[in-house]
């Protein structure tokens, strides 16, 4: 017998213990209905053996199902788990300490590849409206490829900073800029804050730090694309840029401003 070494342990176990060449024997049904608690089979030796075999095979199928489920869950990427299944980080959050106007404390630091799990949890805290406002499209989840793009950055052409709740260690906001491939002096900027933390000053704190980092690497202009009527987004750009021009296209507006020195 050959075993497919690319299959999971549970799949391999089933191929060895229950090969297709040895189908499960059919059990003969009683000739008449039986009362609850009564014997299902007659007392002859053959039927007792078939009954015992049936019970053993039922138990085996149950064990194999459980093993497959455990194996499937163990292979599930962490970035696909729901927030309910995430455990808070055990280590204290790192980064620049910032105290908000309401007394809440956050820390701001450059994003890291290991933040994919926490970034996914933060995305799940966004309402449908907030997701549409941030991504300009309906989006239900972040794929593995999207999370890799959002967290595996070079901090020069693509920069991203995260705001972390100092108490829980959860990501509560992200700001990033991406420099254009043809003109490195211009970069698109975006800021997102989870709904429970909006209107508390995180957006402003996040927006100012990428602007400072952008100036250090030679960025002169910030661009931003947002829904028409997103006044909060416009105010964030106005905090770090002057001479803002705009171009409307259907339901969105493209803004461009010169970074303040």
Confidence of residue 56 (pLDDT cuts 50, 70, 90): low
Q: What is the pLDDT of residues 172-205, one digit of tens each?
A: 999 999 998 889 999 999 999 999 999 999 999 9
Give pLDDT, residue 25. 38
Spell out the CATH class of 83-259. Answer: alpha beta
3-state secondary structure the chain: CCCCCCCCHHHHHHHHHCCCCCCCCCCCCCCCCCCCCCCCCCCCHHHHHHHHHHHHHHHHHHHHHHHHHHHHHHHCCHHHCCHHHCCCCCCCCCCEEEECCCCCEEEEEECCHHHHHHHHHHHHCCCHHHHHHHHCCCCCCCCHHHHHHHHCCCCCCEEEEEEEECCCCCEEEEEEEEECCCCCCEEEEEEEECHHHCCCCHHHHHHHHHHHHHHHCCCCEEEEEEECCCHHHHHHHHHHEEEEEEEEECCEEEEEEEECC
The predicted model scores a pTM of 0.63
Q: Quick check: 215 pLDDT over 50?
A: yes
Give pLDDT, residue 250. 85
Q: What is the pLDDT of residues 33-55, one digit of tens each?
A: 444 444 444 455 555 555 555 55
Confidence of residue 132 (pLDDT cuts 50, 70, 90): confident
Name the residue ranges covered by the structural domains of the chain: 9-75, 83-259
């Amino acid at each position: 017998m050959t075993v497919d070494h690319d299959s999971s342990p549970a799949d391999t176990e089933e191929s060895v213990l229950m090969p297709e060449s040895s189908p499960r024997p059919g059990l003969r049904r009683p000739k008449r209905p039986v009362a609850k608690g009564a014997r299902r089979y007659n007392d002859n030796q053959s039927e007792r053996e078939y009954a015992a075999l049936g019970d053993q095979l039922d138990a085996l199928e149950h064990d194999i199902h459980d093993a497959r489920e455990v194996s499937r869950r163990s292979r599930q990427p962490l970035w696909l788990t729901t927030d309910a299944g995430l455990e808070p980080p055990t280590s204290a959050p790192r980064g620049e300490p910032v105290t908000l106007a309401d007394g809440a404390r956050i820390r701001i630091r450059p994003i890291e590849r290991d933040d994919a799990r926490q970034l996914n949890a933060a995305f799940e805290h966004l309402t449908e409206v907030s997701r549409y406002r941030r991504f300009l499209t309906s989006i239900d989840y972040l794929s593995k490829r999207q999370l890799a793009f959002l967290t595996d950055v070079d901090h020069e052409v693509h920069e991203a900073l995260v705001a972390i709740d100092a108490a829980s260690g959860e990501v509560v906001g992200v700001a990033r800029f991406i420099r254009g491939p043809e003109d490195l002096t211009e970069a698109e900027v975006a800021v997102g804050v989870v709904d429970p933390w909006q209107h508390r000053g995180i957006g402003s704190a996040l927006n100012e730090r990428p602007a400072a980092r952008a100036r250090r690497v030679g960025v002169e202009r910030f661009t931003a694309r947002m829904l028409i009527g997103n006044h909060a987004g416009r105010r964030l750009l106005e905090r770090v840029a002057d001479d803002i021009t705009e171009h409307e296209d259907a339901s969105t507006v493209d803004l461009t401003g010169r970074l303040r020195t």
